[in-house]
Amino acid sequence: MGVTLRYPFVSIEAPPEYRGVPHIDPELCIGCGACVNACPPDALMRIDDLKNGTREIVLDIGRCIRCARCEEVCPTGAVKMTGRFEVASLDRRDHVEVVRLRLVRCEACGEYTDYTERQVVKALQILPEEEYDAEEIKAYSRICRRCRRKLSALGAIEASRRFAP
């Protein structure tokens, strides 16, 4: 029986257990950045543009070592290892995948926050309803940390005035 394959003249599929390059599903990604923190060779990056209110999750498979840490930590199943192994290209840009997301804009000061609209939706889906007031969380999620601190400080001052003897 011959064992010589005609690859690359005839394409072949990787065996099911083969670990090829990862891919991010742009519909499932919420932009949390967990994969970025877990990636040993910095093949994943998180780039926030606070002027235009966007976050980019950038995957550079040219740096990827196929360790699958990104797949393990992704809370939505957006990043998956594939069986793809043919990644040679003459153009470096072919190695880069970008997912773009919208950042939440603070309703109090108008600045962009450091979390995405999809992160808020996800948080509301997973927080137990009996322990959290969804409407309150929704309202708070649209106010940035700085304004939240300001509002709670003002609330505390107001309360202390009310209860002062």
- Residue 113's contacts (CB-CB under 8 Å, 6 or more residues apart) are 103, 104, 105, 106, 144, 145
Distance CA(102)–CA(93), nearest Å, equals: 23
Instruction: Identify the residue among 78, 104, 143, 144 touching ligand SF4 (CB under 6 A).
Output: 78
Question: If binding means CB under 6 A, how many residues of this protein chain bind ligand SF4?
Answer: 29
- The reply to whether 103 sits near ligand SF4 by the rule CB under 6 A is no
43 is a contact residue toward ligand SF4 (CB under 6 A): yes
Q: Is 69 in the site for ligand SF4 (CB under 6 A)?
A: yes
Distance CA 25, CA 104 (A): 21
Q: Is 74 in the site for ligand SF4 (CB under 6 A)?
A: yes
Find the helix or strand (DSSP H, E) in which 125 lies. helix 117-126
- Rule CB under 6 A: is residue 54 a binding residue for ligand SF4? no
Which residue from 20, 23, 49, 64 is in contact with ligand SF4, where contact means CB under 6 A? 64
Report residue 89: phi and psi, to 5°: -155, 155
Structural contact between residues 142 and 106, judged by C-beta atoms closer than 8 angstroms: yes
20 phi, psi to nearest 5 deg: -95, -150
Query: Residues 60, 84: contact at Cβ < 8 Å?
Result: no
20, 23, 56, 68: which one binds ligand SF4 (CB under 6 A) = 68
Q: Which is nearer to ligand SF4, 33 or 103 (CB)?
A: 33
> 65 or 134, CB closer to ligand SF4?
65
Query: Interface residues with ligand SF4 (CB under 6 A)?
Result: 22, 24, 29-35, 38-41, 43-44, 57, 59, 64-70, 73-74, 76, 78-79
